[in-house]
Amino acid sequence: DTEVTQTPKHLVMGMTNKKSLKCEQHMGHRAMYWYKQKAKKPPELMFVYSYEKLSINESVPSRFSPECPNSSLLNLHLHALQPEDSALYLCASSWTSGGRNTGELFFGEGSRLTVL
């Protein structure tokens, strides 16, 4: 099983809503990532978890709150988002050694978020 599963595939939310994006992998990877991708732009790294601990936060606004409840799951909690936060949110996982990525990233298909 070499799959990263993201749910939901599409999400529409208002600026006052609270929602969550979920990501799951069963490859035994201990590094998990959130990327944000706007249209016609490259993916931008948001957060990195290594061994269930947050290791990198790329100065992401606090309205995005990541959580890694166990080695297979990664959540991104969303609250009070702005319309400019509308984007494709990509989850990825990889093997890690000493907190460093040691090879390829396995990406999910993404969650398309629209903030009204």
Partner 1 sequence: SQQGEEDPQALSIQEGENATMNCSYKTSINNLQWYRQNSGRGLVHLILIRSNEREKHSGRLRVTLDTSKKSSSLLITASRAADTASYFCAPGYSTLTFGKGTMLLVSP
Residues at the contact surface with partner 1, assessed by CB under 8 A: 4, 33, 41-45, 48, 56, 88, 90, 92, 100-101, 103-110, 112
Judged by CB, which is closer to partner 1: 79, or 112?
Answer: 112
Judged by CB, which is closer to partner 1: 3, or 61?
Answer: 3
Judged by CB, which is closer to partner 1: 18, or 41?
Answer: 41
74 DSSP assignment: E
- Residue 107 Cβ vs partner 1, minimum distance, rounded to whole Å: 4
- Residue 94 Cβ vs partner 1, minimum distance, rounded to whole Å: 8
- Residue 77 Cβ vs partner 1, minimum distance, rounded to whole Å: 21
Residue 81 and residue 60: Cα distance in Å, rounded?
12
Burial of residue 9 (CB within 10 Å: 0-12, 13-18, 19+) is: exposed
Judged by CB, which is closer to partner 1: 15, or 114?
Answer: 114
Structure tokens, 8: 């939901």
Residue 3 and residue 64: Cα distance in Å, rounded?
24
- Residue 86 Cβ vs partner 1, minimum distance, rounded to whole Å: 13
DSSP 34-60: EEEE-TTS--EEEEEEETTEEEEE-S-
